[in-house]
Amino acid sequence: MTASEDVPSPIIQAQSLSKWYGQVIGLNTFQLRIMPGITGIVGPNGSGKSTFFKLVLGLIKPNAGSITVLGRSPWKNPDLHSSIGFCPDYESLPGDSTGREFLTLVGRLHMMHGTRCQARPRGRELVEMEKALDRKTGVYSKGMRQRMKIAGAMLHDPNCSFSMSH
C-alpha cells in the first residue's frame, strides 16, 4: 500500500476562498478541508454558510482563492452534479404532488427512468418515508418534507451529500 492509499482525499477543499457581493463580504480567505464522513457546518446568520454551499455547488464563482469538490472545480462543471446530493433549506416540494411523484421528478433530472428510478429505495428507506410516498407532500409535516428532500438528494447515489438548514 502506498502513502497516497493510506490517506483519503478530501471531499471539499477551500484555499484562501473569498466571495464578496459589492461591499458585502460573504467569505474572506476561507480555508477548509472536509474529509469523508459526516461533517456539520454551523455558524450565526451572516457567517457565510449559504455562500459556501453555493460555491460548493458551483452556483456562484469565487472572487479569489480556490475550491474543489471531489478533486474538481465546481464552477461551470455540470458533470460534477451527478456526484453530489443537495438538500436545500428552502421549501422545494410541490404540495400537489405525492412523494413518489417528487422522487420520480428528481430521478428524471438525474437521467433515471422507469424501473431504474423505482429500484432505488435507499434514500426513502433511510429517512423512513416508504409509507408516506403516495400522500400529497402538501400534507406532510415540516420534518416529513425535509426527510423527503433528503431522500431526493440521495436518490442518484451521490459520492457526497449536503443538507442546509437554518
Residue 113 above 70 pLDDT? no
Fold designation for 3-76: Rossmann fold (3.40.50)
Same CATH fold, 82-163 and 3-76? yes
**Tell me, what's the pLDDT at 31?**
96
**Tell me, what's the pLDDT at 18?**
97
In whole angstroms, give the CA distance from residue 34 to residue 11: 6
Fold designation for 82-163: Rossmann fold (3.40.50)
Enumerate the domain spans of the chain: 3-76, 82-163
What number is the average pLDDT over the span 91-112?
Answer: 83
Mean pLDDT, rounded, of the chain: 83
Nearest to 36 by CA among 166, 119, 159, 164: 159
**Residue 69 — very low, low, confident or very high, per pLDDT cuts 50/70/90?**
very high
In whole angstroms, give the CA distance from residue 117 to residue 119: 5
What number is the average pLDDT over the span 132-143?
Answer: 91
- Find out whether 95 and 138 touch, Cβ atoms under 8 Å: yes
Residue 117 above 60 pLDDT? no
